[in-house]
Amino acid sequence: MKNRHAIHMTLSSMLCLAVLLAGCCINFGCVMLGKYERTVELSAPLSSGSTFVAKTHNGSITIHGADVTECRLTATIVTRAANDEEAEELSDQVEVTLVPSGDRLTAKIDQPTRLINKSVSVSYDILIPNERNLELTSHNGAVHINDIIGRINATTHNGKMNAENISGSTVLTTHNGHVTCKDISGDSTLHTHNGGVDVVYSETAPSVCNVSIVTHNGGIDFASPPDFSAHVDASTHNGSVHTDLPITVKGKVSKSKLTGTIGTGEGKLHLETHNGSIKIR
């Protein structure tokens, strides 16, 4: 009798647990089976010396610079809900616009703020005049930038960051993602927490620049501009520092820390990681 009672209690407990888990899925978004996707195409003038601003929470941002006089934006809107019909209804409530204000043009998203068992992502693919400044923000999404001359400030939390053929002051920040820069010129500040950083300066870049590259979990590979001149401070905790460039070393020589001068030391090169090796070339 005791055994049958115990079995009955166990089956009852399992049934209650199944009901509870089903309720959790309903309440916390396990049943977003519906999906709806649409694109929006917009354009607006973008004057010389102006700044383009784009913000999204869930979605990537891709910027292409070209010899054009206006901003041409394609937004891909993806909505999810319990079924396709609800996902489409949610999509109808999402609006993307280009809003000019002074010397700034902003890609703006208007969407419902309280979403239960629903989600919205908006990704941008944007063509702009190549001599413009950028302010880009995402939370869950990658950022890609190419062929831009100007000040760049781009941030995401979960996503990789790529920049190619850019010139000017560049700030790229992510928390979880790899940072890659190729054929760049000018000052650069590149930060991530979980991911490596690879940087290749252009063969036509000036020899003097200020560079700060910081990660926690990942290696750093830095290829300098020609005739590079900088004060160098490179350090790691679990890894080593290696240089192919001649450096006048200051202080104690260590495989995990390097302080010294390349050339006449006019610029600054700060490289820092906790878990990973550093290469300067």
| Helix, strand, coil in percent for the chain, rounding step 5 | 10, 50, 35
Task: Please report which confidence band the pLDDT of residue 163 belongs to, taking 50, 70 and 90 as the band edges.
Answer: very high
Q: 206-237 pLDDT, tens per residue?
A: 999 999 999 999 999 999 999 999 999 999 99
Token couple for 171: 């700030």
For 239, left (φ over 0), alpha (ψ -120 to 50), or beta? left
Nearest to 91 by CA among 65, 66, 120, 62: 120
Residue 20 lies in a domain: no
209 with 102, same domain: the answer is no
CA atoms within 13 A on the CB side of 34: 17
pLDDT in tens, 64-99: 999 999 999 999 999 999 999 999 999 999 999 999
Q: Please calculate the CA angle 152-177-33 and round it to the nearest 5 degrees.
A: 110
Per-residue confidence band for 48, with pLDDT thresholds at 50, 70 and 90:
confident
Domain that holds residue 205: 160-281
Decide if 39 is inside a domain.
yes
Does residue 140 sit within a domain?
no
- pLDDT at residue 279 above 90? yes
278 belongs to a structural domain: yes
Q: Which 3 state secondary structure label does DSSP give 79?
A: strand
Phi, psi of 72 (to 5 degrees): -120, 115
